[in-house]
Every structure is written in structure tokens, then in C-alpha cells.
Chain A
Amino acid sequence: MAYVPHSDRDRAEMLAALGLESIEELFATIPASLGATATPVLPEPLSEMELLAEADRLAAENRCLDELVCFAGGGIYDRFIPAIVTSVISRPEFVTPYTPYQPEASQGTLQAMFEYQTMVCELTGMDVANASLYDGATALAEAVLMATGATGRHRALLSGALPPAARAATRTACEAGGVEVVDVPWDDETGRTDLDRLAEMLGGDVACVALGQPNGFGVIEEMSAAARLVHDAGALLIAMVEPISLGVLAPPGKCGADIVVGEGQPLGLPPGFGGPLLGLFACREEFLRQMPGRMVGRTVDAEGATAYCLTLQTREQHIRRGRATSNICTNESLCALAAAVYLAALGPQGLREVATLSVHKAHYLRDLLAEAGVAQRFNEPFLSEFVVRVDGPAEEAVADLCAQGYLVGPALGRDYPELEDCLLLAATERRTRAQIEGLAAAMGR
């Protein structure tokens, strides 16, 4: 009864207007047998004060990143969020509306998404971007489905060095519809996708090849070389990016990628225990009409003034139904707004500073660990995330370090049995010299 505004008098007047004696009459179409078992067993309702106390009690059983020093990665990072981001995305005018189907009532959200799309194009070097998807993992799945639609081929090659969750989500989304998803091996020394093996695997049935940049081990891939191989085989290249890295890294559009996806959480979203996240999605113009998800276009109103609206909806399921490009009918609008505000707040210079600081801190950590006898697993260039080998199972190292106040990982053994003694480490701009030296001391042998 917490949020319903009717008084008993209101209810009585509404029932009377309907000529009814009791509310029960409105439920007469539900068979009585269903009503008899319909009351759920739930805890007693709480007042707001009790609710806040209960939430605090539960949250106290968690150790958040205010309590643990975070060197964990794997797609979710502990990055600084400027106050302006939180302020903008807390406005009820952005928080509470629905999808902007009525453009005259939604210019705020629409223009913000138009600006977001432009920023994603600028970051990735692509021609067009959508207004976001659920997360990086499902964005990869959508990219694979789009590539199969665009090429009429049904085989997708995913680098084994892509984040495991993204590969898993792609399998779940694609295989039932008849797409064969195959992993491409990675090189044991470099941690890069094995391009020789990729060349052998490419054939006339391959729709697309997907590579991480940097990949799931933090290693920088040879994207341009891969693009030549992929395009020679008539397939499309999908790049899965970490967006902060694009402050310094060559954009995939300059390296031959046809579709770019990525996990947008580092752009102003809290880790949130893994959700909500932000699926970045951009592609070359020629694939515009195969692109999944919402898109905002600029147009004019009846008086010729600039206006914005959702566009190219004939791709979408409410019109094309079973032949739609995707079943997705929402985006992560508020998360995309956070990313747009974040990118505006940082600007090109700030984004470069965040990326560069992260690189320096991660490399300092790598150097200290090497001195302390903890070896980097792969020998190719990286930015701010890398894999180290520890003594014994990495899961145990993660648990030990957590007890000492450091969050590291994920441990890689569950997804890569051959890397059972390996874990990921990431450093962001938030990590201080003292914290880095502390972790190196804690991990040293």
C-alpha cells in the first residue's frame, strides 16, 4: 500500500461510478480456482525507515570498492565518475520516461542519444552508432547475428582471447538460430589471437571474425593484419573494444573493422555488481539497415525547426515482427546518457589523461611485480590490464588477497584450464602509488 494514492472514499466513488458493489466483480473473469492459491508468501511490509535499515543491514555483508582496493578487471573497472554525470542521470525527466516514441514529448532524451551516437562514432572511427544495447557481451552477439544477416553466411569465428562471458552470451544467442560459433586459438606466448590458425579457419562460409582490442587478456591485437585476412575471405571484422583505451589507441575504424562493439561501463557507470551495463555498437554506413537496436535521427518539425526522432524503425520487431533485425526493442538509455555526459566532461584531453594514467599505473604495477618475482604471463604490449602467473591455483590467490583488502582477478582457470595459475590485474586512474606498492608487496614472493 506504499505508493497508491486512493483514499477509501475515492475507491468507493469509482466503484459506484461503475455500478459495482465490490472490487471482486472486476475479477470475475479469473477462474475461482486460480484466485484461491494466488496469495504469495512474502515478508511483512516495511516502512521507509525500516526498509533503509534492512537494505543497510544486507549491504553490510558486502565489501564494496570503498573497502577493497580494486585491481580487478574483466570488463568492469573502478573508474572515477565526475559529479556532473551522477547529477544529470538523477534527473527524473531522464530517469522516469519510456522509450521516446512520441518525439514531441521526448526531445531531451532524443537529442541526448543523437549526441551519444556521435560520440561513439568519434571514439570508434565508425560511420554510424545505435543508441546502445544491453551490455558488451550481448552487443557482440548482436554483431555476429548482424554479420550473418549481411553476408548470408552462417559461421562465426570468435577469438578465444575475447572475454569468456561475451563468447558464452554469443553462443546462447546465436546457435539456436543456426549460426555455428567457433573459437579461434590464441598464441600461448603472446596472448594474441593466432592469425596463422585464423587464416586456416577462414573460408567461404565464414560470416565474421571477432577480436578484442585490447583482448580479454589485456593484450593489444594486430587488428590491421587480421582485417586483411578477414576481408580477403569476404567476411566482416568485428572489434570488441574497451572504450577508455580509445583515448589513446587507434580507432578500429582505422584498422579495418566493419562493426565495433564494447562494454561501456567504464564511461561513467558504477560497477553495480555487473549491471546495468552499456552495450556500445557502431558499424560502417553500408550496414546501417541491418543494425539492431534503437537509432535517433535528426529531422525537422512542422515549422522547419531542428527536431529529433527514433528512425529506421522498419528494421524493428513491432513492424517487421519475425523478420526484424533483432528482438531488441529497448536500449540502456540512461546508461548511454551517463556515457555521453562522462565523455563531454572528460573531452578528448581528459579521456587521453585517464587512459594514459591507467597505462602508467598498470605498467608500474607490472614492473614492481616482476621485481618481486611475479611474472607477466604474456609478452605482448598491453595498456592497463594484464595477466600474471601466481604460485598455485589463482582462485586461492584471489581469496587470500581479498582477505588482505585487495580485489584482483578474475582468476582465469574456470574458462581456461591451462591458465589455472593465472589471473587478471587492472589499474585505473584511481589507484595510487601507495596502493600499487602495497599490492606488489602483498603478491611478492
Chain B
Amino acid sequence: MTEPTLFDISQPGKRCTRMPAADVPAPALVDVVPAEHLRAEPPALPEVTEPEIARHYARLAAQNFDVDRHFYPLGSCTMKYNPKVHEAIAAAAGWARLHPATPAEHVRGALRLIRDVEGWLAEILGMAAVSLQPPAGAAGEFTCLRIFRAWHDARGDTGRTRVIVPDTAHGTNPASVARCGWTVTVLESGPDGRVSTGTLAEALGDDVAAMMLTNPNTLGLFETNVLEIAAMVHDAGALMYCDGANLNALLGRARPGDMGFDAVQVNLHKTFATPHGGGGPGAGPVGVTAALEPFLPIPRVVERDGALAWDHDRPASIGKVQAWFGNFLVAVRAWAYIRANGADGLRRVTEDAVLAANYVRAALEGAFDLPYDGACMHECVLSAKTPTQETGVRAAEIAKALLDHDIHPPTMYFPLIVDEALMIEPTETESKRVLDRFIAVMLEIARAAREQPEALHDAPTRTPVRRVDEVTAARQPFLRWRPE
């Protein structure tokens, strides 16, 4: 089953792509570039032919789970179906072969698309302005905090150093806070899995710069007191950031801007159905209130003399968070998604996503623990605590057992406040038939855990490789191919 690397099959002299002969004068390179700057030996790249490359990657592709073939209920990642028409549009030369240095008057369609997507996201989020520049969710999160810092600094309010982050937050939240030169104050969730206004009041102070809140939170629960929370944070002179990772729960139902958030980041690769690419490229646009708009990254698309143009002259801007205008071809796909759905379609997306999560929750809450009672939003967090105590089978083993049923595991051990957490986000694009099969498989695994737990310790057995030894990988890092 092991596929050799391209380096293993490389042979001197083999090649795939050839270049034509020069049609201009072609002096020896050393006559143009001093020898001291030239490389003595060519890089040891693989020497292989096109059929070998095609076969290699086809065989590697077959070793991946993917959304086209597999149910992929990875919580907080929104692994929904990626429409094929998105790929067709984004591949068109009129988008893919645009050079970003082209003068604005020759790329009006691209500027219009950016302007439209920014405007539609502003509508969906209830924010005054949106920037598409952050290339990923964590970049969007940092962009929002960096804007907050610039806003406080511009007011001469430089004594604020703390950011309040609930214990249910995504791991990137504290890492982004550190980048702004601030420190995190962790806020313990209340018994209902939500922020308690009493605990928040104790944490607030005139040294607090911001609060970061994910809504719905990572337990899949809507922060019902969000309006009160926002008012308290604002009264303390701090700003409210919304981690928009869970926007799939809110389309047409509630807008972060209306909840009192000053800035929000969204993931086009989650809610807006652009592909995850095996870990990128995604895109992490940010939306802000009117007061924060001057701080958005440059350049901005503006209307000037009746035409769209770039505006680089924005003295309050935080600068740049990507080399050009963000992951534009990802925005092209999101443009297509919003255009294909319209407001009613997006509302239906959220309704079906929430319905699916609750359908799965209700069917599984007997066999697993439900740490927080009641309806969830677009994802549900179960706990394998009882099966673990009774049988020794842990969440990770349940996850690996799912692989043998051709199902991608849920997010495990997150949020951190739930023991043996299994965070399940079915999304709206899985049919009832798929959900029913998933439920049946989960119940079967729960039964197997009680009846023959040792079988689960060996899972997975049907995947291209068996359980991978991640401990050895970390102890003896082997990060590049070398000749044997």
C-alpha cells in the first residue's frame, strides 16, 4: 500500500516539462551574472516523467478522505459540499489570469466583485464595512484585534492590556492576542455553558481592551445574553470581537452587528462553501462598525468620479495583512455562492444546518453524554465520558472506529471544558439518509465499546495505514526525504 515518494522513483535524465529553445540571444549565464552568484549544483528535485507524476498523485489522492466521498462532521470546520460551478468560475481566465498590478480601469469587473462581496457580507453580518484582505480565519482574527489596538491608541487610551476570552474559545484567539502585545484573561463558562454576566463583571476593568466571543460558542450554544454582554464590555470602554467561525448557525437569523459586536471575522471556506484545500487556501474577511472603518487594511475599493478605484491613502489604516487584496479567487467562489443562494437560500442553509445538528444530537444523547442540555445550534458537543469510564474506550478510539465506516471523525477533545468531547457539525448539505447512517454507526460503536472494547483499541483497520505513531514523529522529527 505504501506509495514511494517522487524522490524514491527519481532517475537521472528523466523529465516531464521541456522548455522551447531561446528565440532571443542566449549568452552563457556567467556572461550575464557573475559566477559567485550562480549555483554550483542544480537543486536535487525529482527527475520523473508525466505518467509517473500522474500515477503518483492519483494514488496519493486515493488515500485521502474528502467531502465528495465522505461524511465529514468535523465540528467548527463546516465541511459542507463545495459546489462544482465555483471551480469552473474561479478557473476562468477572466479571473484567474488577472495580474494584481493591472490599472484599475482595466479590472473593473474584479473591483466590482470585491465591492459586491464586501457589501453582501456587510449585509449578512450587520456591519458597516468589510475587508476581504485577511487570507485566513486566524489572520482575520488578528486583523480585528490589530484594528482594536489602533483604535485605542488613536484615542490615547494606551493603558489597556487585557483581552477577555471565554474558556470555550478557539486556540487561535489567545495566540492572536499575544501578537497584539496583550494578555488573555480566561473567563470560565457558567453552568449552562454560556458566559455568565456575573463572572464577566468581575473580569472587566479599565485595563481591558476587548472581549472575544464566539457566537454560537464552541459548545454549539447561542450566547443568549449577548446584548447585555456587549453593553457591559462597551461600558468598560472595551470593544467586542466576534469569532465568526460558527456563522453557519446565523444566516438570516441574527447578525453580529445587531448583537453589539464591533468587529467580526468570517471564514469563506466554512460558511460560504469554498473548499478547504487540505488546509488552505481559505479566506478570513473582517467586518467592522463605521467607527472602525478608517483602520481597515489598505487598499480599499472606493467609488471615485463614478468609477471603482483603489484607495491607498488612508492614514489611520493598520497597513497590510496580505501582499495584495486577499485570496481573491476564494472570494470569487463566495460571490458565486451568495449569488446562487440569495437571502432565502442562505436562511435555508442555516435552518437545515441547525435541524441536522439537533437531529443527530437527539438520536445520540442516550448512548453518549450531553454535557449541556437543550437544543444546539449548527453543531452539537457530546461527551464519551460514560463509555470511557465504563469500557475504557476513549473519544479518540471512537473517532478512529468511524474511519473504518468511511466516516470522517468529529472534532475531538474540544472545547477543552468537556471531557472526552466529540464535536459534531453535520452541515446542511448531508441528506437525511447520510445522517441516519451516521447515527446507526455511532450507536453500533457505542455498543461495540461495551461488548468488545479491545476491538476498538485496534481501529482503524481498513484505512490505507493503521494507527499512526505521532509520538515518534514528534520525538525524532523526520521532515524531509533523504537518500537511504
Query: Hey, which chain A residues are within 8 Å of B345, CB to CB?
Result: 1-2, 45
CB distance from A260 to the nearest CB of B (A): 13
Bound-state Cα–Cα, A207 to B36, Å: 27
Partner of B43, one of A172, A247, A270: A247
Mark A356-384 against chain B: 1 for CB-CB distance below 8 A, else 0. 11011101100000000000000001010
Query: Hey, which chain B residues are within 8 Å of A60, CB to CB?
Result: 94, 109
A306 and B281 within 8 A (CB): no
CB distance from B270 to the nearest CB of A (A): 10
Query: Does chain B have a CB within 8 A of A150?
Result: no
B16 and A345 within 8 A (CB): yes
Identify the stretch in A127-135, A183-191, A193-201, A229-237 within 8 Å (CB) of chain B at 4 or more residues.
A127-135
Query: Hey, which chain A residues are within 8 Å of B467, CB to CB?
Result: 104, 301-302
Query: Does chain A have a CB within 8 A of B375?
Result: yes
A93 and B468 within 8 A (CB): no
Query: Does chain A have a CB within 8 A of B124?
Result: yes
A137 and B322 within 8 A (CB): yes
Query: Hey, which chain A residues are within 8 Å of B126, CB to CB?
Result: 37-38
Query: Hey, which chain A residues are within 8 Å of B271, CB to CB?
Result: none
B480 and A55 within 8 A (CB): no
Query: Hey, which chain A residues are within 8 Å of B478, CB to CB?
Result: 297-299
A172 and B146 within 8 A (CB): yes
B175 and A271 within 8 A (CB): no
CB distance from A106 to the nearest CB of B (A): 6
Given contacts A29-B224, A322-B178, A322-B183, contact A306 B429 (CB under 8 A): no
A177 and B276 within 8 A (CB): no
Query: Does chain A have a CB within 8 A of B184?
Result: yes
By size class, the interface of chain B is 35 or more
Bound-state Cα–Cα, A117 to B480, Å: 6
Mark B467-484 against chain A: 1 for CB-CB distance below 8 A, else 0. 111101110011111000
CB distance from A103 to the nearest CB of B (A): 4
Partner of A107, one of B63, B68, B279: B63
Partner of A87, one of B54, B68, B96, B101: B54
Query: Hey, which chain A residues are within 8 Å of B418, CB to CB?
Result: none
B468 and A301 within 8 A (CB): yes
Identify the stretch in B77-85, B231-239, B383-391 within 8 Å (CB) of chain A at 4 or more residues.
B77-85
A327 and B142 within 8 A (CB): yes
Q: Which of B24, B89, B354: most chain A CB closer than 10 A?
A: B24
Closest to B224 in A: A29
Partner of A64, one of B15, B98, B431, B472: B98
Interface residues of A in 395-432 (CB under 8 A from B): 398-399, 402, 407, 409-410, 414, 429, 432
Query: Hey, which chain B residues are within 8 Å of A108, CB to CB?
Result: 60-64
CB distance from B141 to the nearest CB of A (A): 7
Query: Does chain B have a CB within 8 A of A204?
Result: no
Partner of B349, one of A4, A168, A247, A343: A4
CB distance from A2 to the nearest CB of B (A): 4
Query: Does chain B have a CB within 8 A of A208?
Result: no
B64 and A94 within 8 A (CB): yes
Identify the stretch in B286-294, B324-332, B443-451 within 8 Å (CB) of chain A at 4 or more residues.
B324-332
Interface residues of A in 107-123 (CB under 8 A from B): 107-109, 111-112, 114-115, 117-119, 121-123
Closest to B470 in A: A309
Query: Does chain B have a CB within 8 A of A321?
Result: yes
B329 and A346 within 8 A (CB): no
CB distance from B260 to the nearest CB of A (A): 10
A3 and B273 within 8 A (CB): yes
Partner of A363, one of B32, B97, B176: B32
Query: Hey, which chain B residues are within 8 Å of A441, CB to CB?
Result: none
Partner of B19, one of A64, A91, A114, A353: A353
Given contacts A220-B37, A335-B281, contact A4 B348 (CB under 8 A): yes
Query: Does chain B have a CB within 8 A of A393?
Result: no
CB distance from B319 to the nearest CB of A (A): 4
B2 and A305 within 8 A (CB): yes
Partner of B276, one of A34, A61, A96, A224: A96
Q: A3-B340, A324-B174 are in contact. List 18 more A-B contacts (CB 8 A).
A: A38-B254, A39-B347, A55-B336, A93-B66, A95-B82, A97-B67, A111-B3, A117-B479, A118-B481, A172-B297, A172-B318, A312-B474, A328-B136, A333-B280, A345-B17, A348-B45, A364-B25, A407-B102
Interface pairs (26), CB distance under 8 Å: A2-B340, A10-B431, A18-B362, A26-B351, A34-B259, A63-B107, A84-B54, A93-B62, A94-B277, A95-B277, A111-B3, A111-B63, A118-B7, A137-B322, A250-B40, A273-B324, A273-B329, A274-B323, A276-B329, A297-B474, A301-B467, A329-B171, A335-B280, A335-B281, A344-B16, A347-B16
3 closest cross-chain pairs (CB), A and B? A274-B324, A59-B94, A274-B100
